């Protein structure tokens, strides 16, 4: 049987906020997973699936349901195909593929969280996105109590989005493994390891390591605005950081937040990182969800007042 013990979301998330959990199970294979889902269903309890806990902000209320963490973490490499279980640490997987000279996810070095969480928000960094190498995943369908396969196109990937964030799919599927198709790397001038090292270095400079200072990565998405909005803003702010995105424009949320004066500022026990203003931190781990939510809402209101742009959280709010 899976391991059971009392836990709080505060212990299980990198932001270090969140209430106590009634039933917490770590499951290490598909059989244990099926058993724990039955357990929850027999008691009519809500199930919440947790991975590395690095992209969620959980309320301070106690959670009266079952939290399941899939911890199986085996990797199978067949040619250029890599099949890996959901419980593996994402960056460990990147390390392993780089060691095998397989190209395709090296720019995603240093992203916190588990492999199973990677498709949910279609993780991306430095011009690479999971969707580019993703073939399929296997998940347990909680409602129908059976295993199902989602191919790449079934996942409906877009910028930090997938079908698993949609209301009718959210928390309905427990991902047990994913399969990626990578390429043998052939560039003789540059090693994959060099690229990985450089990405880890840049991330170390700009982003905040959650093991040192609790945080959940980019708290907001970079907003997408249309051409007329972009043109109006550029007149007032010629130095604005903006990138073409499909037929529209992606504007840097970090820049917007910095311009409202929030970079490095605290509100109660929580703080906007002084390295990167997209990152909200809980420096001493003393802040609560409600502190984080107040800070996020204040930032959203201030950015809206100044620029007429509504920032959207990139992290998922849980158990509201």
Tell me the catalytic residues: 160, 218, 314
Give, for 94, the enclosing helix (H) or strand (E). helix 90-99
Residue 306 binding ligand EPU, by CB under 6 A: no
Nearer to ligand EPU, 102 or 315 (CB): 315
Nearer to ligand EPU, 20 or 248 (CB): 248
What's the rounded Cα separation, in Å, for the pair 306 and 288? 27
Work out which of 147, 169, 255, 317 binds ligand EPU, going by CB under 6 A: 255
Q: Which of the ranges 138-146, 185-193, 217-225, 232-240 carries the binding residues for ligand EPU, by CB under 6 A?
A: 217-225
Q: Binding string to ligand EPU for residues 29 to 48, with x set by CB under 6 A, is what?
A: --------------------
Residue 125 binding ligand EPU, by CB under 6 A: yes
Residue 258 binding ligand EPU, by CB under 6 A: yes
Residue 252 binding ligand EPU, by CB under 6 A: yes
Residue 22 binding ligand EPU, by CB under 6 A: no
Q: Which of the ranges 71-79, 144-152, 178-186, 216-224 carries the binding residues for ligand EPU, by CB under 6 A?
A: 216-224
Residue 199 binding ligand EPU, by CB under 6 A: no
Q: Which of the ranges 22-30, 187-195, 226-234, 251-259 carries the binding residues for ligand EPU, by CB under 6 A?
A: 251-259
Q: Which of the ranges 32-40, 56-64, 185-193, 274-282 carries the binding residues for ligand EPU, by CB under 6 A?
A: 274-282
Number of chain residues interacting with ligand EPU (CB under 6 A): 19
3-state secondary structure (DSSP) of residue 207 = coil
Residue 254 binding ligand EPU, by CB under 6 A: yes
Q: Is the CA virtual torsion 66, 87, 278, 308 positive or negative?
A: negative
What's the rounded Cα separation, in Å, for the pair 125 and 113? 14
Measured in whole angstroms, how far is the alpha carbon of residue 128 from the centre of its chain?
A: 15
Q: Smallest gap, in angstroms, from Cβ of residue 19 to ligand EPU?
A: 23
Phi-psi region of 62 (alpha: psi -120 to 50; beta: other; left: phi over 0): beta
163 DSSP assignment? G
3-state secondary structure (DSSP) of residue 85 = strand
3-state secondary structure (DSSP) of residue 294 = helix
Residue 278 binding ligand EPU, by CB under 6 A: yes
Residue 103 binding ligand EPU, by CB under 6 A: no
Residue 317 in contact with residue 216, Cβ under 8 Å? no
Query: What b/e sequence results for 223-259 when a residue is b if at least 16 CB atoms lie within 10 Å of its CB, and e otherwise?
Result: bbbeeebbeebeeebeebebeeeeeebbbbbbbbbbb
What's the rounded Cα separation, in Å, for the pair 130 and 267? 34
Work out which of 172, 230, 263, 265 binds ligand EPU, going by CB under 6 A: 263
Residue in the block written with tokens 């209320």: 61
Which residues form the interface with ligand EPU (CB under 6 A)? 125-126, 160, 206-207, 217-218, 221-222, 241, 252, 254-255, 258, 263, 276-278, 314
């Amino acid at each position: 049987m899976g391991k059971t013990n009392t836990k709080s979301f505060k212990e299980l998330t990198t932001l270090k906020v969140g209430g106590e959990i009634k039933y917490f199970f770590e499951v290490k294979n598909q059989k244990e997973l099926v058993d724990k889902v039955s357990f929850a269903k027999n008691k009519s309890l809500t199930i919440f699936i947790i991975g590395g806990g690095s992209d969620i902000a959980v309320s301070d209320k106690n959670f009266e349901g079952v939290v399941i963490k899939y911890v199986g973490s085996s990797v199978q490499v067949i040619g250029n195909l890599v099949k890996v279980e959901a419980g593996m640490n994402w960056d460990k997987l990147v390390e392993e593929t780089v060691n095998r000279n397989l190209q395709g996810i090296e720019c995603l070095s240093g992203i916190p969280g588990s492999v199973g969480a990677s498709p949910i928000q279609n993780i991306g960094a430095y011009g690479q996105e999971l969707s580019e190498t993703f073939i399929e995943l296997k998940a347990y369908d909680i409602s129908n109590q059976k295993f199902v396969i989602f191919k790449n196109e079934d996942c409906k990937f877009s910028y930090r989005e997938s079908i698993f964030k949609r209301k009718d799919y959210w928390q309905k599927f427990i991902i047990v493994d994913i399969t990626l198709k990578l390429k043998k790397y052939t560039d003789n001038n540059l090693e994959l390891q060099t690229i990985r090292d450089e990405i880890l270095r840049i991330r170390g400079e700009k982003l905040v390591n959650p093991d040192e200072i609790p945080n959940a990565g980019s708290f907001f998405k970079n907003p997408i605005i249309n051409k007329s909005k972009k043109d109006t803003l550029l007149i007032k702010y010629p130095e604005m950081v903006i990138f073409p995105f499909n037929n529209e424009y992606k504007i840097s949320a970090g820049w917007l937040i910095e311009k409202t004066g929030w970079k490095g500022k605290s509100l109660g026990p929580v703080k906007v990182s002084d390295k990167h203003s997209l990152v909200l931190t809980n420096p001493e781990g003393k802040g609560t969800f409600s502190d984080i939510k107040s800070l996020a809402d204040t930032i959203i209101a201030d950015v809206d007042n100044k620029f007429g742009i509504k920032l959207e959280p990139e992290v998922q709010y849980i158990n509201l």
